[in-house]
Amino acid sequence: MGDSVLIIDRGEKLDHSVVMERRSAGEGGAAVFRSKLPWNSFSPLSKICVSYYPMIVGGASNAWGGNTRRLPPETFKRTDAPIAWPFSYQELLPWYEKAERRLNLTGDPAYAGSLLTNTTSGFEQWRYALRPYFDNVGLSGIAINTGASGKFGQGTCKGRSNCETCYEDAKARPDNIFPELPILPSTQCLEIVFDGERAKSAICYNGREVFEIEFERCIIAANGIESPAILLRSDLPQNVRSHSIGKYLQDHAHFEVQCMGAYELPYNSTSAFGHVYIDELAGEYSGIEVSCFALTHESALEPLGHTVPDISQIWQEGVTLSSFSRRMISFYFELEIPATNLIRVVLNDDGSPRLEDTEYLSFLPHYEEVRRKIIAKLEQRGLIVMSQQCHYKGGYGGHHFAGTLNMGTGPNAVCDESAKVIGTENLYVAGTSLIPRAGGEGPTLTAVALAERLGHHLTK
């Protein structure tokens, strides 16, 4: 059989046009990704988590235009939780750079702090647009290919939205990275079979029959929910750290702030959907890591008319509706659910995953404190706060499930520094579940960088 490797990704290949038709018909959330496959039906993970759980090839990491940033060096240094990074930012840096090339990142080359394959036209305007209020802003790298062709067959972004199922993007999907290999996108992995500490096969189901796939090595890369669920459904070797499987789940909570500034902004001036990253509003607040960005298109005005007592004075100054709209800035904040939590993936009676996450409620006072500090910063810089949407009060969810099969050197790590499951000989993990501390940034780029690092390790 040779050195055969089974990679367990997550999800089926859905038709983009069908998803678009469902959205046009008014459907939303998980419903637009519904499937005819009997194993690909899904229910809410909990009453608090608002992330949906679509089984889509490549995942949903492009749902927000592929905001693709490195974790800051400070995240790698944190040791205030039961799990922590086993190495430094500098050690992951070459793999970040390789991941950025693979994903064909687009953005502002002087700001993004990353290797960009493409440059977003119009970036120069956004480099200076918010300078009256902040010293360091710019278009962050995004995983949307705007070049002539995708280096790995991804195609060129056509701005169609619903990036989860669009193949004209920058995603490193299985079928364009491994075009020569057999791919079974309509098959679910039920469990891993072991012979002692050696994983030897996967029990799978394709909607018609249960069958077995044998391998020499296996990589589980099936998202921060399904990856631990597969192991929880398996009869694991004795030395696997089962007590940590599915624990320390990290995601993000959110809030938005709409402000009015003194100057009109260059909305709709870029060649692609963009994120204007604002360093001075990001960082750590009261132990919570936060990221902040604004968008390159205008905010909706509907919720703003009644939120500021002196709004009539603004209109009396002769500001037109168009000018008012172009002076509005929407700031989006992602708040980490830190790795100090005890949120975990568990199994229902039928083997499907769900979350035990009521401890999330204990973070709400901390998020309120973060929000107050950020509002104070905005006002200190001369911005008029017009409205706030505290989404974190209604639940959490950025589709950023991380940490549930964390790598590390401590007693709570599931995987070692090479991403091998401790207590096994040949079972490895890739994807967001491997990340021990996700901080305030989305995990896409870090997950790809860790996969590049693992690939190098396995081919040495």
| Of residues 434, 361, 367, the one with CA closest to residue 83 | 434
Through-space distance between the first and last CA atoms of the chain, rounded to whole angstroms? 20
Write down the pTM of the prediction: 0.91
Within 8 A by CB and 6+ apart from 306, the residues are none
Q: Give the phi and the psi of residue 219 in degrees, each rounded to 5.
A: -120, 120
Whether the Cβ atoms of residue 445 and residue 407 lie closer than 8 Å to each other:
no
Give the C-alpha separation, 257 to 270, whole Å: 22
What's the pLDDT at 194?
98
Quick one: average pLDDT of 45-72? 73
Which helix (DSSP H) or strand (DSSP E) does residue 374 occupy?
A: helix 364-380
Asked if residue 59 has pLDDT above 70, the reply is no
* Token duo for residue 408: 């590390």
Whether the Cβ atoms of residue 370 and residue 316 lie closer than 8 Å to each other:
no
Within 8 A by CB and 6+ apart from 18, the residues are none
Least confident range from 96-100, 236-240, 331-335: namely: 96-100
| Of residues 291, 238, 281, the one with CA closest to residue 439 | 291
What's the pLDDT at 62?
47
Quick one: average pLDDT of 47-58? 75
Asked if residue 352 has pLDDT above 60, the reply is yes
What's the pLDDT at 419?
98
What's the pLDDT at 12?
77
User: 238 or 110: whose pLDDT is higher?
Assistant: 238
Asked if residue 451 has pLDDT above 90, the reply is yes
User: 101 or 438: whose pLDDT is higher?
Assistant: 438
**291, β-bridge pairs:** 334
Whether the Cβ atoms of residue 170 and residue 176 lie closer than 8 Å to each other:
no
Least confident range from 17-31, 382-396, 434-448: namely: 17-31
Whether the Cβ atoms of residue 398 and residue 442 lie closer than 8 Å to each other:
yes
From the number of C-beta atoms within 10 Å of its C-beta (0-12, 13-18, 19+), residue 15 rates as exposed
Task: Give residue-wise pLDDT tens across range 4-40.
Answer: 999 998 777 778 788 888 888 988 777 777 887 777 7
Rounded to 10 degrees, the C-alpha dihedral 170/204/221/214 comes to: -110
What's the pLDDT at 347?
96
Task: Give residue-wise pLDDT tens across range 424-436.
Answer: 999 999 999 999 9
| Of residues 329, 371, 349, the one with CA closest to residue 126 | 329
How many Cα atoms sit within 13 Å of 340 on the Cβ side? 11
Whether the Cβ atoms of residue 249 and residue 403 lie closer than 8 Å to each other:
yes
Give ∠ CA 18-21-27 in degrees, rounded to 5: 110
What's the pLDDT at 309?
42
Q: How confident is the model at residue 167 (pLDDT cuts 50, 70, 90)?
A: low
Q: Give the phi and the psi of residue 417 in degrees, each rounded to 5.
A: -65, -20
Give the C-alpha separation, 339 to 250, whole Å: 6
Which amino acid is located at 160 in the chain? R
What's the pLDDT at 307?
46
To the nearest whole number, what is the mean pLDDT of the chain? 85
Asked if residue 147 has pLDDT above 70, the reply is no
Q: How confident is the model at residue 1 (pLDDT cuts 50, 70, 90)?
A: very low
What's the pLDDT at 223?
87
What's the pLDDT at 345?
96
What's the pLDDT at 151?
54
Q: How confident is the model at residue 145 (pLDDT cuts 50, 70, 90)?
A: low
Which helix (DSSP H) or strand (DSSP E) does residue 193 occupy?
A: strand 188-195
Q: How confident is the model at residue 148 (pLDDT cuts 50, 70, 90)?
A: low
* Residue 423 three-state SS: coil
Q: How confident is the model at residue 104 (pLDDT cuts 50, 70, 90)?
A: confident
Q: How confident is the model at residue 193 (pLDDT cuts 50, 70, 90)?
A: very high
Q: How far, CA to CA in Å, does 356 sit from each of 193, 246, 360, 380, 423?
A: 27, 10, 9, 40, 26
Q: How confident is the model at residue 139 (pLDDT cuts 50, 70, 90)?
A: confident
Give the C-alpha separation, 457 to 460, whole Å: 5
Q: How confident is the model at residue 83 (pLDDT cuts 50, 70, 90)?
A: very high
Q: How confident is the model at residue 308 (pLDDT cuts 50, 70, 90)?
A: very low
Whether the Cβ atoms of residue 176 and residue 146 lie closer than 8 Å to each other:
no
Whether the Cβ atoms of residue 251 and residue 401 lie closer than 8 Å to each other:
yes
Give the C-alpha separation, 233 to 101, whole Å: 36
